[in-house]
């Protein structure tokens, strides 16, 4: 009886996990609104940072956070127990997946 209850519990947990994985995210905005937001973000980034660079001061890394709700910036220093591979993957994400269309970089920057 106990073994059957355990199997039933495992089965129920598997069903719950499978159903939770099937949920899809629904966009709250249309495709055109999303493209407009990306273009506005790219234009802002290009106007705010004329020459973007990756650098280090004294060999110490920090993760800069920007609140999506209020825009406040905060900084957290990395610690010895932070995963270096994860930190590198975070650092490389803007290079691998730019926040604006690379093929339109000159147009967004206002250059001919």
The 10s digit of each residue's pLDDT in 39-88 is 888 788 778 877 766 666 667 778 888 888 888 888 888 888 888 888 88
Count of the separate structural domains present in the chain: 1
Does 107 reside within a domain? yes
In-domain check, residue 20: no
Mean pLDDT of the chain: 75
Q: Is residue 87 part of a domain?
A: yes
- In angstroms, how far apart are the furthest CA atoms of the chain? 77
Percent of the chain with pLDDT over 90: 0
103 part of a folded domain: yes
**What is the arithmetic mean of pLDDT over 24-30?**
61
Q: What is the 3-state secondary structure (H, E, C) of 4-70?
A: HHHHHHHHHHHHHHHHHHCCCCCCCCCHHHHHHHHHHHHHHHHHHCCCCCCCCECCECEEEEECCCC
Q: Is residue 111 part of a domain?
A: yes
pLDDT (0 to 100) of residue 111: 60
């Amino acid at each position: 009886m106990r073994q059957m209850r355990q199997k039933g519990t495992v089965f129920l947990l598997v069903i719950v996990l499978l159903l939770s994985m099937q949920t899809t995210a629904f966009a709250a905005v249309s495709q055109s609104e999303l493209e407009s937001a990306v273009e506005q973000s790219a234009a802002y980034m290009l106007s705010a940072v004329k020459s973007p660079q990756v650098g280090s001061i004294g060999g110490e890394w920090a993760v800069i956070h920007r609140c999506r709700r209020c825009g406040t910036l905060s900084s957290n220093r990395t610690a010895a127990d932070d995963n270096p591979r994860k930190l590198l993957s975070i650092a490389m994400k803007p290079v691998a997946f730019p926040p604006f269309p690379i093929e339109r970089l000159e147009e967004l920057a206002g250059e001919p």
